[in-house]
Amino acid sequence: MELLSDRQIPLIAPNPPKLSEMGEELAAIEASGQYSNAGPTVSAFERAIVEQLFGGEGACLAVANATLGLMIAIRQAAGRNWRGERFALIPAFTFAATAHAAEWAGLTPLLIDSDPDDWAACAEAEDAAFARYGSQIAVVVPYATFGTCIDLERYRRLAERHDVGVVIDAAASLGALDENGHGFGQGHRFATVFSMHATKPFATAEGGLVYSADPACIDDLRAMTNFGFGMPRTATVAGLNAKLSEVSGLLASRKLAEIDSCADHRTRLGRAYGELLGDFRLQRLRGARPMTQFQSLLLPSHLAAFREDIIAGLAARGVGAAHYFAPHLGQQPYFKATARIEPTPVADSIAARILSLPLHDHMDVEDVRYICEMLFDSCAKTTSDKTMAATVSQPERTGTLIIGGGPGGMAVLNAAAKGGRLETLARSGLTMIDRDTVLGSGQLGTYSITSDSTAQTFLSAAKDTPYPAIEALVDSPGGRTIAHYNDALGVPLAETPPFLNALAASFTTIAQNAGAQVVTGYTVTGARQVASGGWRVQARMANGTREREWLAERIVIATGGYQDRESIGRECVDGAPLIELAGDRLMTGDMALRSGAMSEIRARLADAAAPRIAVIGGSTSALASIAMLLKASPALPLGANAVTLLHRQPLRPFYPSVEAAHADGFTDFGPDDICPVSGFVYRLAGFRLESRELVLRMLRVGGRVPDPRLTMHQVQPDDPQARRIVEQADLVIGALGYRPHALPLFDTDGNRIALCADLPGRPRLVDQQCRVIDADGTPVPDAFGIGLAAGFVPEGRLGGEPSFRGKANGLWLWQNDVGMMVVDHLLKGLVREAA
């Protein structure tokens, strides 16, 4: 890119003290003959920094670098009295050194989400992790992001409540003052680890510092830095060599003398940025004097996709910029393969939008003004160029366009991989497009319930393929998480994304290597038939600033299903629409099942001393809603018969055989309820796993006892009692199944094609051959569908009981029989074109 300015402001300008000005001090070190091993220079620095920055309280240990400091501090805090896998709880939005240090200490990083304001670890995510993993968490390692201060009292309470070790990663915060004006970390007995790397505000050549209010803690760590020698030349604890040299100690002493002026200067620069960057989202800095490493901001959503162009534009104007930490740890290949990763939507958003600007000792306020002007100029120019380029772009040609990269869309690639045909499909011209940036799990991770597929079903997606890298995912961290639930009633959906996303990454990598294209961050807005065959497909970037078009021979719609309050409100009970009977008390089943929904439910029931809840529907989502209500922690104040399930069809449990059903005392089925292929009883209509156990209790099968808080009512066409149940409920959950999220399709003249999926109720998207059908049931040429609410029902050689009248959903079906059917259609299309 052509340079637009001779002015140069680098992102980072190291400013350690100058050794060339320390001739006498260096000569004194040479004369002493002691260059390391806790020499007088380093020891004097440790004493001085305790007095100057930590009010004379506690002790400090200087180390060769901060990563070594983290390694020994984490190892000491975690101890070694454990068996099996133990975790270090770490925010995903941090530097790789923290997670590496935990691994070197023998722990598995457990990565969690960030707070949206200060970008440090999210308190709710920490609490959720302890609720899920409990005593498996050996140590918590929060990060004081980019030199800010964090609430250390919270971590003191957390350590006491869970009896867990705490190590504070305060890499850039040396010299920061907390809200009380004390040095960050002062008064706290756990280890706080700082960096003195040349790029940090407290800049030396290389080095680190560990502070603790407990001198005994520092004594133990000191022994660890010297090969574990707790006695003369005798190892008594785990050890390595992490000592700071005398020359580095000299640099640290000189930097200590100027750290207050350095901090005050950075504060002035940060204040100037805050005044000029009002249009951008900035990190919330905490403490009386944070030590900002550089100025970070979040680009607006409509600019985030152009971040690299904006950085290039700033570089052309003489301004250095970057994006720390993007990708965050949970998005980096090594940690995706070795860490345990919880859902990180906030960290994902920060990493996608963050931009880091210069803030260092060599700048002044006028530089800040120039940087901000260049940022605004680069943003405006980049957006203008990209919008113009999008306007004149031509359609891209492809063979097959799969719309949706969640479980449905990935099932097509999974089925192709199992059949050894993934590369064939890719070479034919395959494009996959999704609105999200990460493919695989779709929306599954946003639900707070367990799956109705077993752990073995999830893991089977990686088995029986000709690709060793895919089979290896069974033993990946995500795979091991799934396997943990092999004997459980389903897998918590919130824990499935690491495995499903890794699986998707493997499939798409294989496909891309064979010529396929993967496009993320775009939403398909519609498709129009082409007179010569195929489809012209339009897509728009989520921020609306860029559009793309494809000419596709075939399309696969894998956009999932949805529930909306309006369509559920039209459902009638005793002749009256639900919306009239329930009003504002009506909540969709999908909303009730989402993560965080329990807080909304508690708020709705807050004024009810003895709340009554009506759940309407006979679907898996209805039973899952009830299970969630009954298992709520802390428990909801539910008395006898507080929850009523209103359903129209009888509730049926799945059984693997007629003999198993009879052995359990269940006989309410006939020949048409048995799958002729598998012999399963209620193979498609039957509830499974956790929902099945709930149904068996409700039906009192095999002597089971119902939960006294739950009662059932089978709704009739004229049913005043059902009306009263709904009218008297404090909360009404409409769990009435999902509608297909169909794509707007148009004919060659631009007229909207009326699809079966657009009909009222809970219609189908596809026929029995996975072909998209119009409102009359006629297949739409070269359009196929798969996934939640698509409406495919197995029959014939695929099995399924003849009595089934609903929709069949499930990972196994999609990844095997149904996915294979779609792949067959796509590859037959290739043969037809070749002919």
CB contact set of 39 (below 8 Å; sequence gap of 6+): 29, 32, 246, 249
Q: What is the residue whose two structure tokens read 């050894």?
A: 420
Q: Write the single-letter amino acid at 667.
A: T
CB contact set of 377 (below 8 Å; sequence gap of 6+): 313, 317
What pLDDT is attached to residue 5?
A: 65
Task: Name the residue with higher pLDDT: 541 or 757.
Answer: 757
Count CA within 13 A, CB hemisphere, residue 264. 4
Cis bond before residue 656 (omega within 30° of 0): no
What residues are paired with 681 via a beta bridge? 655, 674
Give 817's DSSP letter: I
- The structural domains of the chain, ordered by start, are 53-259 (3.40.640.10), 260-390 (3.90.1150.10), 396-563+740-834 (3.50.50.60), 565-651+687-737 (3.50.50)
CB 325 within 8 A of CB 351: yes
Following DSSP, what letter does each residue of 773-787 receive, concatenated? EBTTSPEEEEEEE-S
Burial class (CB in 10 A: 0-12, 13-18, 19+), 255: buried
Burial class (CB in 10 A: 0-12, 13-18, 19+), 604: middle
CB 406 within 8 A of CB 442: yes
Q: Cα–Cα distance between 682 and 158 in angstroms, integer?
A: 48
Q: Cα–Cα distance between 74 and 168 in angstroms, integer?
A: 9
Q: What is the maximum span of the chain, computed from C-alpha positions, in angstroms?
A: 101
Sheet holding 87-91, edge to edge: 59-63, 208-212, 191-195, 165-169, 137-140, 87-91, 108-112, 340-341
At 835, the pLDDT band (50, 70, 90 cuts) reads very low
From residue 21, give the alpha-carbon distance in Å to each of 27, 32, 258. 12, 19, 15
> How many angstroms from the chain centroid is the CA of residue 347?
8
Model pLDDT for residues 212-250, shown as the tens digit of each residue: 999 999 999 999 999 999 998 999 999 999 999 999 999
CB 299 within 8 A of CB 280: yes
Q: Cα–Cα distance between 58 and 471 in angstroms, integer?
A: 52
CB 320 within 8 A of CB 9: yes
- DSSP H helices, 644-768, are 658-663, 689-698, 720-728
Cis bond before residue 201 (omega within 30° of 0): no
CB contact set of 31 (below 8 Å; sequence gap of 6+): none
Model pLDDT for residues 508-529, shown as the tens digit of each residue: 999 999 999 999 888 999 999 9
User: How much of the chain exceeds pLDDT 90, in percent?
Assistant: 80
What pLDDT is attached to residue 534?
A: 95
Q: Cα–Cα distance between 250 and 39 in angstroms, integer?
A: 11
Model pLDDT for residues 372-394, shown as the tens digit of each residue: 999 999 988 876 555 444 443 57
- pLDDT surpasses 80 at 194: yes
Model pLDDT for residues 468-487, shown as the tens digit of each residue: 999 999 998 889 999 999 99
What pLDDT is attached to residue 358?
A: 97
Q: What is the mean pLDDT of residues 43-52?
A: 98
Q: Cα–Cα distance between 545 and 548 in angstroms, integer?
A: 11
Question: What element of type H or E holds 192?
Answer: strand 191-195
At 544, the pLDDT band (50, 70, 90 cuts) reads low
Count CA within 13 A, CB hemisphere, residue 340. 22
Q: Cα–Cα distance between 191 and 75 in angstroms, integer?
A: 11
At 541, the pLDDT band (50, 70, 90 cuts) reads confident
| Average pLDDT in the chain | 92
Question: Is residue 345 helix, strand or coil?
Answer: helix
What pLDDT is attached to residue 595?
A: 76
Q: What is the mean pLDDT of residues 262-281?
A: 91
Q: Cα–Cα distance between 556 and 570 in angstroms, integer?
A: 30
Model pLDDT for residues 644-683, shown as the tens digit of each residue: 999 999 999 999 999 999 999 999 999 999 999 999 999 9
Q: What is the mean pLDDT of residues 756-774?
A: 93
Alpha-carbon dihedral angle through residues 393, 422, 788, 395, given to the nearest 10 degrees: 10
